[in-house]
Amino acid sequence: MAVQMQFDAFKGDPAVGWNKFLSSRSELLRDSAPSGEMLKRLHRIMTGHCKFEVTPEVASRELYTLDRPAGDPVSRGISQEAARMQSEGYDATSIYVTLADVFLESCMGNTTIEIDISNMSKLRSYGSRKIRNRPAEHVMASTFQAFGGNTQDVKNAAGNPRAQFLVLFHITTGLPELYASWCSVSDALLGRATTLDEALRAEAVFQSSRAILHPFLDGNTRAYTAHLAYTLARFGVFVEKFDQAFLEKYHRLASDSQKQVMRAGGSTCIVGDHALLMGLVDDVRRPYMAKTRAALQGVINNTGAQAGILAHTANQHFWVAKQWLIETGLVKPTAEEQEAIKAVGILNGLWTRRPELLATAYAQSSGVITASGLQQLGFSSSDVDLFFRQHALNERLLLVTEETEACLGQEGRLTADAKGKIAAFFSEARDIPGVRERLDELIAEQSH
């Protein structure tokens, strides 16, 4: 049986790293290092006290097998055997169990490796390798993000199918080049920034790379949080502590844009146990990585299906950060910004106070939402009807909120189009039982 590719949790109190950053901030401000290098320094400061462990088995398996050169005979042989097994009806798990150790042992026959599993201040990697008759190469470590579901329990309590894991793999081949390109775009914007707003927009472009590049094995959020504080300090805003709710909202934007980029680039999440084949079958991994590289380059260059994605998510980052700075009293708002905050506050308040029926029904149905399924779970016909009306309304609310925040991020004011969408949404919302009262409460709160 193949060794499972898992490592211990990242351990270490975030407060320790943050205090080290605060004590180092004055010294950091005297440095003019570009964003890419500064982030690596901040990663060391924020995670130097943390324990990060990965077994030699995991590291060596990736160094031997992952992203071997095109045309490699060992990879080609495994891909052919996997294709044969698939044609004979074997599932992905059976293929992995049968071939994973065979692949590793075959690679060990013509490859030597040098393991380096330190995590701090360098792009994610487990070391380097030398394949016979080829030059030595640095191998980037594989990481992924899973969304929902459970591959072991594929039915819910009512016996209905549950969604399996959706797995999105981060880029490995080409990561250093993409990281350098993204940092270069951010640094060009920061170099031209003369005001806090301009700096926040440049920082937003940089922050958008956190989830989609995932440059470090772990501790990415801590490092990027410190970089935001560093940029703010460069423009005279000294943050002693970030609010956790703000950080969750701010960093979630990068994760959302990650999925948007992958969809726009034609690279989709791998479903369920088929994710096992990504580290095994070259015919699966190589096209996926090629699509991912092209999508990320499109984001950086603002071309193709990715045109506008970076600007959109950067605007959202900008406005969320600016709103928090205003609410905490670190920055004084203009009159137009006060009007904008009031509108977004009503939208976000309604979103967070949506009726509990929505969350309950969604959780109990495990993401498989049908009228008959809800009725089987014990919901009445009237509840089911109300649920679907609220669900549709919540979907519209999310879109209206995103569009409004993007619009605010551009000029700090509400356009006529945004005001029209908000008015139309509120008009429909008042027809939903229970929502009218919540909406009135929110508007009253914002008026004080």
pLDDT in tens, 301-341: 888 777 777 877 787 788 889 889 988 999 988 776 776 56
pLDDT digits (tens, 9 = 90+) for 217-269: 889 999 999 999 999 999 999 999 998 889 988 888 887 778 778 777 777 77
- Model pLDDT, residue 415: 62
Q: Give the pTM.
A: 0.73
Extract the tokens encoding 92: 């992905």
Average pLDDT over residues 34-54: 89
- Best CA proximity match to 355, nearest among 308, 381, 316, 388: 388
How many angstroms separate the CA atoms of 323 and 333, rounded? 9
Residue 69 has pLDDT above 90, yes or no: yes
Q: Select from 187, 224, 223, 231 the least CA-distant residue to 207.
A: 224
Q: Residue 93: pLDDT above 50?
A: yes
pLDDT band at 373 (very low <50, low <70, confident <90, very high): very low
Q: Given pLDDT bands bounded at 50, 70 and 90, which one contains residue 435?
A: low
- What does the angle CA 356 – CA 316 – CA 254 come to, to the nearest 5 degrees? 80
pLDDT at 140: 94
**Mean pLDDT, the chain, integer:** 76
Q: Is 392 left (phi over 0), alpha (psi -120 to 50) or beta?
A: alpha
- Per-residue pLDDT of 409-418, as tens digits, reads 455 555 666 6
**How much of the chain exceeds pLDDT 90, in percent?**
39
Q: Which residue has the higher pLDDT, 269 or 67?
A: 67
Using CA atoms, how far apart are residues 348 and 316, in angstroms rounded to an integer? 13
φ, ψ for residue 133, nearest 5 deg: 70, 15
Alpha-carbon span 319 to 201, nearest angstrom: 9
Q: Give the pLDDT confidence score for residue 168 in this predicted structure.
A: 82
Distance (Å, rounded) from C-alpha 439 to C-alpha 426? 8
